[in-house]
Structure 1
């Protein structure tokens, strides 16, 4: 029996076998490590979190209220937010000059926002005074105490306000001085404005301004010129700036010596929630005339001119005119004597509404007066309520509060003042005596 011998393996064969085994072993180890890493839970680690950012309550309230405002306002949110940053720094220097130029007819646009200094609260100062009771000031207006966020002061500048019965010019100076104190006492978050009325209206600023120190410090200089005595003469009788023309919608006011309609219309256009007025008497608002009425009046004036010329050319007219001139000269001398006596006492000339009283009447034909009709108080109040409804209630606001102080009025003026304060709910009236002319402080 023969034996078959096996051929020995070559060296190359064993190299290949060993290499393959090594690769398999390494692959198995790497695969096991990978599987272990992905299947085993991560090691727990602990670290301190950064301190939480604390939002101050005022800032949080500001953001919430700001979002509400942006949803309610017709303005773009970016424009509303931009106003917030500038309102507290608002100064009359950035507005139209209070002493020059016409302001136009528009008052406020949009919903101003302001942050109250000291309280850190924020609110919406909207027409009608709804809002969030922010920036409100407690005001003592010659004995009437009210609180509001948008305050307008209305001051009568008619000649009757400086008559002797009301303390002459020194008494009116006291009125102005007290007004300045009221304005300076307003909260820095309160909006305010001042309206002076007579035959026209003068506005302190073209729109409501915040009661910052810059804005209130200019009030004294602005109000000072009215009925001021300078070198023995009275300067700036009544309204002289005439820098605002409110819209008289559905109203035919066309003149008069006491234009309360203009003053109240301006206050409503400023969206005041608290209106104070000091006056001595009744409104004098002439209704506009028709063209046919003016034409008839002009024909009567032409006829009067002819009659007047014939009278003065006649012997009778010349005699009566000579006597009249003597009588008038005596009256003027007596008036000058009274003025001199008053000047020696430091008092101004006597002022009378409607001109000089006691002067002799000119003889001859009388010049025909124009046909004139005046609005009564009821008509004025109804119109003011309609304007308030259009400006306030149509936007969801409440009408303002109107408080009226009677400055030494007569019986008729007192009745008017009491009725006028009832134009809106929560109105108040009060009658005060004139300031003593001998007191200047």
Structure 2
């Protein structure tokens, strides 16, 4: 029995419909794959192109531009300022070009500082010290860059001990016993003042300095190391002549006297290192006493000074030479301070020997 012919047409339509759907799905999938492949190719090309392409030139300006100081030119500049000629003075009187019935008075005295250019030493004293801080102007007290720092080879001498430091601090023990021992050693107080004034007079303008007198309490010339300008030198000379303690006592209530408990040289050394000196001159007989709240009056042993100086040198971050100048020292004090001075890179000298 044969199939009816009218059934074949619906079957053909169904087959064609399924084929169209399959073709559409295949086209969509193929298009999506091609789009992804195209995107992958483009991304790969971009990455490869960035890798091989040269970066764009950029120009940046740093926030702070520092020009290194040239040592040679800087030394020449300092030399010119140190050798600057003194201010001119005017002695001329008023004169007349024709006779008069009266004589003219002398020209009144004027404050020439208001009329003449400023003294360069007064302008650059502070600036020079900051400019040469990082570049340096020479080698230190035998320690190079790690030592005290130089000042262009200008050597100074104090009681025969030479130094090239730029930040100098003088510590004077002015107790009665030290004054008497110094006089007995052939170094009276007048000579100590003379040596101190001479050292200050010779300081170049790029130096800073100060003076401290002490017994158990102490009296500083200044609260910080001051620039070696002509004005500060004059003030120091005046301070030496008028404020130098000659009584062997330094009461706590005195003018400019600093005091605390415990007192003595340990307290003075803590204050001295807070001024950040490059070198320290210590003048004494090597025997130091102090007052403490627990022990009362006592002599400070050498091992305590040794521990304190190690701590202070470590906190300073550099070796600060301590030059010791002594008078009629006891053998044990001589041994202690000779060792401490040498360990700090300083020199030891006992006067009268």
Please list every run of 5 or more consecutive structure 1 residues that lacks an aligned counterpart in the other structure: 1-61, 67-85, 93-111, 229-234, 247-252, 290-369, 435-441
1:114 aligns with 2:39: no
Take 2:257 and 2:296, find their aligned partners in 1: how far apart are those partners?
A: 29
Aligned length: 230
Residue pairs, 1:30-429, within 5 angstroms? 63-65=67-69, 89=122, 113-114=127-128, 122-124=132-134, 133-134=150-151, 137-163=154-180, 166-167=183-184, 171-224=188-241, 225-228=243-246, 237-238=249-250, 240-244=254-258, 254-255=262-263, 259-289=264-294, 374-390=299-315, 392-393=316-317, 398-424=318-344, 426-429=345-348
- Spell out, residue by residue over 1:88-125, the C-alpha distance to the aligned partner (whole angstroms, 9 max, x if none): 53799xxxxxxxxxxxxxxxxxxx75169xxxx84449
CA shift for structure 1 position 136 = 6.8
User: What do you get for the CA RMSD once the two structures are aligned?
Assistant: 3.9
Deviations 1:388-431 (A, max 9, x none): 322x22xxxx121111011233434423331331352x121011
> What's the TM-score once normalised by structure 1's chain length?
0.45
Gaps of at least 5 residues in structure 2 are: 1-65, 71-118, 137-144
User: Mean alpha-carbon deviation: is it higher for 235-244 or for 279-288?
Assistant: 235-244
Post-superposition Cα deviations, 1:161-212, rounded to whole Å, max 9, x if no partner, equal: 2226734998112111211111111111111111111111111111111111
> TM-score, normalized by length of structure 2?
0.55
Matches of 1:388 and 1:157, distance apart in 2 = 25
Q: Stretches of 4+ moved more than 6 A in 1?
A: 128-132
Secondary structure class of the residue paired with 1:409:
coil
**Following the alignment from structure 2 to structure 1, what is the Cα–Cα distance between the partners of residues 155 and 169?**
13
Determine whether 1:433 maps to 2:333. no
Higher RCO, Cα 8 Å, sep 6+: 1
* CA 260–131 in structure 1, closer or farther in 2 if over 3 Å, else same: closer
Matches within 5 A, 1:11-30: none
